[in-house]
Chains A and B, each alone.
Chain A
C-alpha cells in the first residue's frame, strides 16, 4: 500500500467501487467495478480505493449523514460522488506546476454525476446490474465500455484533461436553450403536438434541438437534461460531423483525439450491436442488452437517407444484423422509451416512444417513423427555416463588454458568453472567477444545509489584482457570474454594469430594485 500514483500514465484516475463487496480480507479487489486507466497496477488500484474507503469510513464518524466530497493533497485532488448507496465514483486528478488551483471541485464532481446519469439512462442503476448478476461481470462490462467511451471526450493527446479555470463560465449539467420569437414558438408547439401523436393513442415524448440548443421538450427536467447532454455529445449535426468532442472548444483549440484510441486501448472487440431485447417492461429491461452496447462510441452514428440517425453498431460489425433502436430509461418519467433520432439540417428531433406501448418492436418503430415523416415533415422544414432565419450564429448570445454565465439550477438551464469570447479573458481574471465560484459553491451548500427550503441571496464583487471585476450574484435561486475586464475602476461601475445586464437580458432578475 502507499504506492505512488505516478504510475498512472495520464495523470488522472477514475474508479467506481462498491463498498458492499469484497468485505473479506484478501478479496478487496472485488470492490472495484471500474478503474481507469485499465493498465494501472492492481496494487495501486487497491491503494487508491483503500484510501478512499478509509476516508469515507472515517468521515462518517463525524458526519454520518453526509458524503465525503474531496480529499485534497499537495499532488492531487480526489473528488467523490456516491452515485448509488455504497457505490462510489472517485476522480483523481494529478496536479502539475501549471494546473495547481485551477479546477473547481463542483465542476469535477459534475463530471461524475453526468457520467452516472448517462450510464443509468442506458444501462439502468449499477446496483440493479449487480443484483442481476452478482459476479459483477455485467456491471463491470458495461462500466468499462461506457466510461471508457465517456472519458474519450476528455482525452487531449494521451492525457485526460478535465475542465479547468478556463471553463469557469460554463456549467456542466445544464441545458442551453434557444430563445425563439413568439410566432416560432407557436410553430414549435404545433410540431411537438404532431410528434406526440405519432403512435396514435399513446403520446410520444420529444426533444427538439436547433444546433446544440434546446428548443422544446416534453420530458421532465432531469430526463431532459440527460437526453440533451447525450444529444450534444453525440447526436447533433456538429457532434456527428466533427466526430469530435462537443467540449473540444473548451480546450482553446487543442485538437482532440477521438474515440479510437480509448476504445482500442481497453481491448474490447468492436462487435457492438444490440442483443435481441426482451419485451421486458421493467426499468432495467435494457440491462439485457449485449454488454458491448456502446451508446457513446462516437463513430457509430450516421445519418441515413431517410433523415434518421442510426446507431449503426450492427451493420458493419456483424453480418446480417439489423441496427436496432436503443431503449433508454428515464428515471424521472419512470419509463423506458425507444429513442429515434431525426435530423433536418440544423434541427435534431429526439422522438421517444414508450416501450410499454410498442408491442411489435422494430416493426412498430418503423411505423412510428413513417407516421412522423408523413405528419411532421412539413412542419419540421418550416420550423428549421424560421429558426435558421432568426439564428444569430455562434455568437448569438454574446453581450459586448461582458463575459457571463447565467444559471437557473431549478430549471437546469444556463446561458453563457460564447466560448470564443471567454478565451479573450486574461488568465488572472479566469483564475479569480474560478476561485470565486468555488467559494460560492461552498456558500450554496452551506445555505442548503441550513435551510433547504429557501434560497439565500448573495452578492460578491471582487476587483482582482489585474484590475478586472469578477462578480457572482445569486438572487432567488438564479445565479449570475461575470468577468468585466474593460471599464471603470470603481465598485459602482461594476454594480451599474450588472444592473444594466440584468435589466436588458435577465428581465431584471438580478437588479437591485
Chain B
C-alpha cells in the first residue's frame, strides 16, 4: 500500500503552474471576502522565495524533483483502467502508489501517447452520456448544483453533460420535493449513490460491487475535498443566485479530484478514517516532533511533517485536533497539485472537519521529492513567520538526519508478513519466513502463494485511540494492482459490514470465499483486518491474528506517532501511558 517514489514527470511542469493559476484566479473570483487581502502579494513572494530555497537545499535538485519513468507510466495506465474494477491490470508492482493519479502521464487510452494536455485525455473530454465508452466506465463521480448545473464529472466534458446533469438533478429534486432524500438506486451490478449537501448534489454511479456505505463515504470525502478548496461559504453564492455556476471556481483542480478518486482504490485511510505513519526510530521522530512543537507554540495551529501520505510527525496547538479525514484531504490536495512541489507555497485551504466555514492558511514546503512540511495558521499575513519557522524546522531535520532516516524508512521499514515473529510455542505451524524481496508473480488462487506464516497475506491494524493504522506490505501473492485492489475492496466491505449502523460494531468476523479468508477483530483498543490464503486453517489464522497484534504492540514506538503531540492524552488512555 505504500506509494513508490513519484517520478513526477517534468514534461508538464508548465501545465500545473497554469492550473494553479487558474484555480487561484477562480478563487479570487469570489471576491475579497474569503481570501486574504494580500493574497496575491503572497503569490509574488512565493515566486521570490523559490529560488532562495533551491540554493539553500543542496539536496533538492532538478533530478530529484522530476523525471518521467516509463515504468511508472505503464503503471499509471493500468491503474487508471481498472481504477474501479478488475478488468485490466498487468502486473506492475512499481505503480501501486499514489504517483498514479498525480502524474501528468495519466491516460487510459489503449495506445497512449504522453499527452501534452493530460487532463483532457484523462477525463475523456470527447465522451458524453451518449458515448457507449462513457456508459461503460466502471465508476462515475458527479458533482452538480441543485439547479442541475454540472460542477464536476470524472469522465467527459461537464458542458456536454449538462443534460445528464439535469436528469440527475430531476431525480434528486423529485424525491427531495416529497420531503424525502434519495440514498441509492440499485440495478444489477450498478449502484447509484446520492449525497445531498445543501445546494450541492454528489452522485456516484458504480459497478464496482462496493458497498453503499463505502461509496457514500467516498462522496463525503469528495464533498470534503470541495470544501477544502472552497469552504462551505460557497453556499452563499447559491443563496444569492440559484443558477450560480460553480464549475469555474474549481477550474484546474481536476487532478485533485482524480487523485482522491484514485485513493478510493488504494488508500485504507479513505474508509478507516485513520491515518498512517512512516515507521521511524523513536529518537528520530522525537527530534522532528520537538521542533514542530516549538513551531506550534509560536502560533501555528497545526504543523505536519509528512512523507507522501504518511505522517512523520503531527503537532497541534492546544486543544486543536486534526481529523484523519482532513489529513487525507490535505495530503491529497498538496500531493496532487504540482505547484506545491515546485515552489514554497502559501495557500488558503479549509479543513472541513475542523471548520467547514473558514479558510486556514497553509504554508507548504517540500524538503525533497516525498517529504514536506505543512504549517497551518488562521493568520493570512503569517507567510514570513511561517517561512522562518520552516527554516528552523529544516535546520533541525538536517542536523538530526531526520530526512535521511525518512528516505531510508521509505524504502526499508515497511512491515512484511513474512517477518512476523515466530511464536516459539507453535513453530510447527509456521512456514519459514520468506524473503520480502521475492516478488515472483504468484496466482492469487495458488495454494502455494507465498505469504506469512499460516497463509497470512496481509493485515491492517488500526489503533482506535490514536486514529492511526498500520498495514503490511503486499506479499508476492498479491503483487499486481488488480489483486491489490480486489483485496482493498474486500477490506472495505468487511469494514462496512463490521460497522453497520443498525447492528454494529460487531466483535469478530470470519469470512471465507474463493479469494481469501478474511478476519476482523474489533476491541475497544484496536481493529484488526487480516487476509489469508483461502485455504488457511481457522485455528492457525486466529493464532496469527494474535501474533500480529503482539507484533504491532512491540513495534508501536516506531510505527505510531504519539506522546509528543496534542494527541498524547489519547495515547495514554489507550496504552496506559507506557
Within 8 A of A (CB), among B441-497: 493, 497
A491 at interface, CB cutoff 8 A? yes
**Bound form: Cα–Cα A65–B189 in Å:** 10
Q: Are A465 and B505 in contact (CB under 8 A)?
A: yes
B180 at interface, CB cutoff 8 A? yes
What residue in chain A is nearest B521 (Cβ atoms)?
Answer: A463
**Bound form: Cα–Cα A61–B512 in Å:** 35
* Among A71, A100, A492, contact of B182 (Cβ-Cβ < 8 Å): A71
**Bound form: Cα–Cα A4–B177 in Å:** 8
Q: Are B503 and A69 in contact (CB under 8 A)?
A: no
A63 at interface, CB cutoff 8 A? yes
Q: Are B171 and A58 in contact (CB under 8 A)?
A: yes
Given contacts A51-B174, A456-B514, A457-B514, contact A70 B506 (CB under 8 A): no
Closest CB-CB distance, B203 to chain A, in whole Å?
Answer: 11
Instruction: Give a binary string over A432-446; 1 marks a CB under 8 Å from any B CB, 0 the rest.
Output: 100110010011011
Q: Are B500 and A55 in contact (CB under 8 A)?
A: no
**Bound form: Cα–Cα A461–B512 in Å:** 9
Closest CB-CB distance, A471 to chain B, in whole Å?
Answer: 9
Given contacts A439-B497, A495-B538, contact A459 B506 (CB under 8 A): no
Closest CB-CB distance, A425 to chain B, in whole Å?
Answer: 13
B183 at interface, CB cutoff 8 A? yes
B135 at interface, CB cutoff 8 A? yes
Closest CB-CB distance, B538 to chain A, in whole Å?
Answer: 6
**Bound form: Cα–Cα A436–B539 in Å:** 23
Within 8 A of B (CB), among A456-472: 456-465, 467
Closest CB-CB distance, B213 to chain A, in whole Å?
Answer: 11
Instruction: Give a binary string over B272-297; 1 marks a CB under 8 Å from any A CB, 0 the rest.
Output: 00000000000000000000000000
Q: Are B512 and A459 in contact (CB under 8 A)?
A: yes
B184 at interface, CB cutoff 8 A? yes
Residues of B within 8 A of A436 (CB): 497
Q: Are A67 and B183 in contact (CB under 8 A)?
A: no
Q: Are A62 and B180 in contact (CB under 8 A)?
A: no
A359 at interface, CB cutoff 8 A? no
Instruction: Give a binary string over B171-205; 1 marks a CB under 8 Å from any A CB, 0 the rest.
Output: 10111011111111111111010000000000001
* Among A445, A446, A460, contact of B509 (Cβ-Cβ < 8 Å): A460
Given contacts A62-B190, A72-B184, A463-B508, contact A5 B178 (CB under 8 A): yes
Q: Are A55 and B507 in contact (CB under 8 A)?
A: no
Residues of B within 8 A of A62 (CB): 135, 187, 190, 205, 207
Q: Are B510 and A66 in contact (CB under 8 A)?
A: no
Residues of B within 8 A of A72 (CB): 182-186, 212
Instruction: Give a binary string over A407-440; 1 marks a CB under 8 Å from any B CB, 0 the rest.
Output: 0000000000000000000001001100110010
How many positions in chain A have a CB within 8 Å of any CB in the partner chain? 59
A305 at interface, CB cutoff 8 A? no
Given contacts A2-B178, A72-B183, A100-B502, contact A458 B188 (CB under 8 A): no
Closest CB-CB distance, A443 to chain B, in whole Å?
Answer: 8
Q: Are B174 and A2 in contact (CB under 8 A)?
A: yes
**Bound form: Cα–Cα A72–B181 in Å:** 9
Residues of B within 8 A of A54 (CB): 170-171, 174
Q: Are A449 and B510 in contact (CB under 8 A)?
A: no
Q: Are A465 and B507 in contact (CB under 8 A)?
A: yes
Binding site secondary structure of chain B: mixed
**Bound form: Cα–Cα A446–B486 in Å:** 14
B129 at interface, CB cutoff 8 A? yes
A214 at interface, CB cutoff 8 A? no
Residues of B within 8 A of A439 (CB): 493, 497
* Among A69, A456, A465, contact of B187 (Cβ-Cβ < 8 Å): A69
What residue in chain B is nearest A473 (Cβ atoms)?
Answer: B512
Q: Are B513 and A59 in contact (CB under 8 A)?
A: no
A3 at interface, CB cutoff 8 A? yes
A75 at interface, CB cutoff 8 A? yes
Residues of A within 8 A of B539 (CB): 492
What residue in chain A is nearest B509 (Cβ atoms)?
Answer: A462
Q: Are A73 and B188 in contact (CB under 8 A)?
A: no
Q: Are A459 and B511 in contact (CB under 8 A)?
A: yes
What residue in chain A is nearest B493 (Cβ atoms)?
Answer: A439
B167 at interface, CB cutoff 8 A? yes
A275 at interface, CB cutoff 8 A? no
What residue in chain B is nearest A80 (Cβ atoms)?
Answer: B187
Given contacts A55-B185, A62-B187, A63-B188, contact A463 B506 (CB under 8 A): yes
A68 at interface, CB cutoff 8 A? yes
Residues of B within 8 A of A463 (CB): 506-509
How many positions in chain B have a CB within 8 Å of any CB in the partner chain? 47
Residues of B within 8 A of A462 (CB): 497, 506, 508-510
Q: Are A73 and B183 in contact (CB under 8 A)?
A: yes
What residue in chain A is nearest B513 (Cβ atoms)?
Answer: A458
Q: Are B503 and A432 in contact (CB under 8 A)?
A: yes
Residues of A within 8 A of B424 (CB): none
* Among A4, A69, A432, contact of B186 (Cβ-Cβ < 8 Å): A69
A47 at interface, CB cutoff 8 A? yes
What residue in chain A is nearest B189 (Cβ atoms)?
Answer: A449
Q: Are B174 and A68 in contact (CB under 8 A)?
A: no
Residues of A within 8 A of B514 (CB): 456-457
Q: Are A74 and B181 in contact (CB under 8 A)?
A: yes
Q: Are A63 and B509 in contact (CB under 8 A)?
A: no
Q: Are B497 and A492 in contact (CB under 8 A)?
A: no
**Bound form: Cα–Cα A439–B499 in Å:** 13
**Bound form: Cα–Cα A175–B541 in Å:** 38
Instruction: Give a binary string over B134-165; 1 marks a CB under 8 Å from any A CB, 0 the rest.
Output: 01000000000000000000000000000000
B240 at interface, CB cutoff 8 A? no
Q: Are A59 and B179 in contact (CB under 8 A)?
A: no
Residues of A within 8 A of B184 (CB): 70-72
Q: Are A71 and B502 in contact (CB under 8 A)?
A: no
B501 at interface, CB cutoff 8 A? yes
**Bound form: Cα–Cα A445–B186 in Å:** 12
What residue in chain A is nearest B496 (Cβ atoms)?
Answer: A439
A113 at interface, CB cutoff 8 A? no
**Bound form: Cα–Cα A449–B86 in Å:** 14
Given contacts A456-B514, A458-B512, A463-B509, contact A2 B185 (CB under 8 A): no
Among A3, A58, A69, A102, which residue has the most Cβ atoms of chain B within 10 A? A58
Instruction: Give a binary string over A1-19; 1 marks a CB under 8 Å from any B CB, 0 the rest.
Output: 1111110000000000000
A135 at interface, CB cutoff 8 A? no
Instruction: Give a binary string over B113-144; 1 marks a CB under 8 Å from any A CB, 0 the rest.
Output: 00000000000000001000001000000000
What residue in chain A is nearest B537 (Cβ atoms)?
Answer: A512
**Bound form: Cα–Cα A2–B207 in Å:** 29
Closest CB-CB distance, A352 to chain B, in whole Å?
Answer: 37
Residues of A within 8 A of B183 (CB): 72-74
Q: Are A428 and B503 in contact (CB under 8 A)?
A: yes
B22 at interface, CB cutoff 8 A? no
Closest CB-CB distance, A91 to chain B, in whole Å?
Answer: 15
Residues of B within 8 A of A66 (CB): 187-190
Residues of A within 8 A of B185 (CB): 55, 58-59, 68, 70-72
Q: Are A435 and B189 in contact (CB under 8 A)?
A: no
Q: Are A76 and B192 in contact (CB under 8 A)?
A: no
B209 at interface, CB cutoff 8 A? yes
What residue in chain B is nearest A461 (Cβ atoms)?
Answer: B510
A101 at interface, CB cutoff 8 A? yes
Residues of A within 8 A of B503 (CB): 101, 428, 431-432, 435, 464-465
What residue in chain B is nearest A454 (Cβ atoms)?
Answer: B514
Instruction: Show 10 A/B contacts (Cβ-Cβ < 8 Å), sorted by A.
Output: A5-B178, A55-B171, A59-B190, A62-B207, A63-B187, A63-B207, A72-B186, A431-B502, A460-B510, A463-B507
Q: Which 8 A-B pairs give the minimum distances between C-beta atoms?
A: A66-B188, A2-B177, A59-B187, A463-B508, A101-B502, A463-B507, A68-B187, A459-B512
> A63-B189, A462-B508 are known contacts; what are 9 more A-B pairs with Cβ within 8 Å?
A54-B170, A55-B171, A67-B187, A68-B185, A431-B502, A456-B513, A459-B512, A464-B507, A492-B542
